[in-house]
Amino acid sequence: MTRPTFNGFKKKALQKPGVKREYDTLAATYSLRKQLIENRLKAGLTQEELAKILHTKKSNISRLESVNSKISPKLSTIEEYAKALDCHLEIKLVQN
């Protein structure tokens, strides 16, 4: 028997209304944290190096980038992170 792929599992799971609703709720958080990591790596920085630039600890950078973090970062923290990577932050609201 063939093991299901992640994409197959995801597609099947998202057919359930409760799962789909929760997935949609978390989509922005996952997207932001993915962008943080991608831009840090594009800048060629480790979490430790970025922490030094921001005068903080590596554990704070790790927590900021973690999709499992229970803490929502302040907007000012994300702005400082972006500035350290020579990026700017854009936020937009989209009507459902």
Radius of gyration for the chain, computed over Cα atoms and rounded to the nearest angstrom: 16
Instruction: Compute the mean pLDDT over every residue in the chain, rounded to the nearest whole number.
Output: 92
| pLDDT of amino acid 90 | 93
Q: Any idea where the domains of the chain sit in the sequence?
A: 15-84
Q: What is the DSSP string of the chain?
A: -PPPPHHHHHHHHTTSHHHHHHHHHHHHHHHHHHHHHHHHHHTT--HHHHHHHTTS-HHHHHHHH-TT-SPPPPHHHHHHHHHHTT----------
Q: How far apart are CA 53 and CA 51, in angstroms?
A: 5
pLDDT interval class at 1 (50, 70, 90): low
CATH number of 15-84: 1.10.260
For residues 50 and 61, is the Cβ–Cβ distance under 8 A?
Answer: yes
| pLDDT of amino acid 53 | 97
pLDDT interval class at 7 (50, 70, 90): confident
